[in-house]
Structure formats: structure tokens, C-alpha cells
A and B are shown apart, each in its own frame.
Chain A
Amino acid sequence: DSGVTQTPKHLITATGQRVTLRCSPRSGDLSVYWYQQSLDQGLQFLIQYYNGEERAKGNILERFSAQQFPDLHSELNLSSLELGDSALYFCASSAEGRLIPDTQYFGPGTRLTVL
């Protein structure tokens, strides 16, 4: 158990809908990362937040957005869903400082199925 929790474990929805994925980092970790893992795209880094602020941005679509709240939990919002958004979405957290990347601890993931 990494200490990172993600809810829900599974999510089934229809095209055009909007969903919210939730992540609670390990106690004390200030950084939260979001990743998408799909069969055709592999593992893609989406976005990182550090202590409430966006730190790094990867291949995140404009239909997707994220935020980190004062209690450090994070949410990933996916809207106007398409079939191709079906994937495993992972959250990870780290105790990363401002300059040195630290070990990331991954949650169990949320499996999103868009029908």
C-alpha cells in the first residue's frame, strides 16, 4: 500500500459526459501528479501540482482540468468525454522540494470506461 488513495476504482459513463476523479496523497506530500495509461498511448504524464499550484504540464487535453485543494487532495476533471478517453488514470504523490524530484508513490488507479 503506497498511502495514495484514488476514488472511484471504476467509472463507466457515456460519451459527452463529465467525470471527476479524486486523489488523496500520502500524508505530508505536497506534490500530486496525474497520469493516463491507455493501450495505444502508453503512460502519459498529464499534470503536476505542488502545494496548490500547477508545477508542470504534460499532454493534458483542454477538455481536462485539475486542481489541488488546500488540504492537498487533488481532483482531475474530464469533460466532453470521448471513447478514446477510456483508460487507467493514476495519481501519484511525492515529498518533492522545489528543485529536486523525489520518489513518486502511485495510487491504485481509476479505470474509466466511456461507452
Chain B
Amino acid sequence: AQSVAQPEDQVNVAEGNPLTVKCTYSVSGNPYLFWYVQYPNRGLQFLLKYITGDNLVKGSYGFEAEFNKSQTSFHLKKPSALVSDSALYFCAVRPYDNFNKFYFGSGTKLNVKP
């Protein structure tokens, strides 16, 4: 079955420390991969996407993600966390050869403490 997994419901990190939000996927064929962020009482905002090319993708607000095909992962990272990064983060995948489907992970709540 095709799916996206975010193994951590919550990630806690101190301000200034690096952060990682994990995402693994299971789809047939090559994937298009996305990260979105949702702040309280707001809609989702696009952070970054991997379509093809360089495995390291840079996105909004200093976030980046690395596509690892062998580990089927697309972890979201930031070198130095800010309190304002505290939000709900969603990973999503769209199979290249099954464009009609779009799968979201369950979301990871990031808490950045001062």
C-alpha cells in the first residue's frame, strides 16, 4: 500500500538548536515530495518540494529537506530553530507514475522552547 509516515507525533527542540522532522514514504515509482506547515487556526503553507535533481532542497524560512531514495525518506531540517517555527508540519507525496493520488502524513507537532 502506498503511504507516508511521520513517525513522531511531536518533536521538542530548544531555540538555536538544529531540528529534524522525519518523513518516510512508500510509493511505487518515483515520488514528488512536499513539506507543508500549519500554524494554529491557519491553513497550510507550502515550505518546499522535491521534483527532480539535487537531493537537497532548500525552502522557505530557512528550512531544507534531503531526499534519500535508498531509505525512502524526505526529512525536514533547519540548522537553528526559532520559537516561531513551532507549528504542525505535514509531509506529502505524489507518485510520479500515479499522478491521481496524493498522500499526506499524519503530521508532526514541532515545539521550539526558548
Count of A-B residue pairs with CB < 8 Å: 50
The closest CB in chain A to the CB of B46 belongs to: A103
Specify the main secondary structure of chain B where it touches its partner. Answer: strand
Which of the 9-residue segments B12-20, B77-85, B99-107 touches chain A?
Answer: B99-107
Q: How large is the interface on A (under 10, 10 to 19, 20 to 34, 35 or more residues)?
A: 20 to 34
Q: Is A49 an interface residue (CB 8 A)?
A: no
What residues of chain B lie closer than 8 Å to A107, measured between beta carbons?
A: 43
Complex contact A44–B43 (CB within 8 A): no
CA A109 – CA B43 in complex, angstroms?
Answer: 6
Complex contact B102–A43 (CB within 8 A): no
What residues of chain B lie closer than 8 Å to A58, measured between beta carbons?
A: 101-102
Complex contact A90–B94 (CB within 8 A): no
Q: Is A55 an interface residue (CB 8 A)?
A: yes
Interface of chain B residues 30 through 72 with chain A (CB within 8 A): 32, 34, 36, 42-46, 49, 51
> What are 29 inter-chain pairs, A to B, with CB distance below 8 A?
A2-B43, A2-B45, A4-B43, A33-B102, A43-B104, A43-B107, A44-B104, A45-B103, A45-B104, A55-B99, A55-B100, A56-B102, A57-B100, A58-B101, A58-B102, A90-B43, A92-B44, A100-B51, A101-B32, A101-B34, A101-B99, A103-B46, A104-B46, A106-B36, A106-B43, A106-B45, A107-B43, A108-B43, A109-B43
CA A24 – CA B94 in complex, angstroms?
Answer: 24
Q: Give the shortest distance, in Å, between B99 (CB) and chain A (any CB).
A: 7
Q: Give the shortest distance, in Å, between B83 (CB) and chain A (any CB).
A: 23
Q: Is B90 an interface residue (CB 8 A)?
A: yes
Tell which of B36, B49, B99, B101 touches A99, judged by Cβ atoms closer than 8 Å.
Answer: B99
Complex contact A56–B100 (CB within 8 A): yes
What residues of chain B lie closer than 8 Å to A55, measured between beta carbons?
A: 99-100
B-contact bits for A37-80, CB 8 A (1 contact / 0 none) = 00000111100100000011110000000000000000000000
Complex contact B90–A43 (CB within 8 A): yes
* Chain B residue total in the interface (Cβ 8 A): 20
B-contact bits for A5-16, CB 8 A (1 contact / 0 none) = 000000000000
The closest CB in chain B to the CB of A111 belongs to: B41
Most chain A CB atoms below 10 A, which of B34, B103, B104: B104
